[in-house]
Amino acid sequence: MGKDDNRRPIAARASSWARALSASLARSSITPNQISIVSIFFAGVGAMMLVWGISPAGLLLAAVCVQLRLLCNLLDGMVAVEGGKQTPTGALYNEFPDRIADSLLIVALGYAALHPWLGWLGALLAALTAYVRVFGGSSGLAQDFRGPMAKPHRMAVLTVACLVGAAEWRWNGTRHCLLLAAAIIAAGSALTCYTRIRAIAGQLHQKG
């Protein structure tokens, strides 16, 4: 496998602003692992905004936190790889903070939508998409980041739900957008598990 087979393809990685910011961080004493941990902090703040005292301002802040979490996910890999600051534990910090951050936000979304079970289901299925991806890698295949509801898609749905949900809440105090987003994330994650498993099975069959 090539060196990029286990990296999620992200268009922003090639942007000038991302390269400049990651280069600046690489020259500092900040480590990629620390950036990964900060992503959990932003996810935690976003989750609190969704669960405690939901309001238009809280939903807008939650949307910002989701994007800051994704920014950390982008920069930790760039600082590690392009910045030459890889560590022996980098693979651990690349995966586990992601799973924690995903779970915090998706579970909180379920509570915000007044259907906690849907948030827990979505978080479980989101974690399963990552498990299937890593399983493919452990089987000697390139890790499969396909959707339709991979991490960037889940966070995009959540961000839009928070933004539109803020307007909805201000208008009439309902949470239909949040409920719809929780359902889309759960259903889409289940479909993503299926598409990845099917792709892995096909590749393993070809190898055999």
The per-residue pLDDT for range 123-165, each reduced to its tens digit, is 999 999 999 999 999 989 989 999 999 999 999 999 999 999 9
- Please state the φ and ψ torsions of residue 112, each to the nearest 5 degrees: -65, -30
Rounded to an integer, what distance in angstroms lies between the CA atom of residue 180 and that of residue 167? 15
Measured from the Cβ of residue 42, the count of other Cβ atoms closer than 10 Å reads 22
Q: Grade residue 1 by pLDDT with cuts at 50, 70 and 90.
A: very low
With pLDDT > 90 as the criterion, what percentage of the chain qualifies? 76
Helix boundaries (H) for 9-88: 16-27, 32-51, 56-81
The per-residue pLDDT for range 62-111, each reduced to its tens digit, is 999 999 999 999 999 899 888 888 888 888 888 999 999 999 999 999 99
pLDDT tops 60 at residue 15: yes
pLDDT at residue number 2: 41
pLDDT tops 60 at residue 3: no
Q: What is the mean pLDDT of the chain?
A: 92
Map residue 208 onto helix, strand or coil: coil
Rounded to an integer, what distance in angstroms lies between the CA atom of residue 4 and that of residue 7? 5
State which H helix or E strand residue 152 sits in: helix 151-172
Rounded to an integer, what distance in angstroms lies between the CA atom of residue 28 and that of residue 22? 10
pLDDT at residue number 4: 54
The per-residue pLDDT for range 109-133, each reduced to its tens digit, is 999 999 999 999 999 999 999 999 9
- Please state the φ and ψ torsions of residue 91, each to the nearest 5 degrees: -60, -40
* Average pLDDT rounded to a whole number, residues 160-181: 96
Q: Grade residue 184 by pLDDT with cuts at 50, 70 and 90.
A: very high
Task: Look up tokens 């924690």; give the residue.
Answer: 100
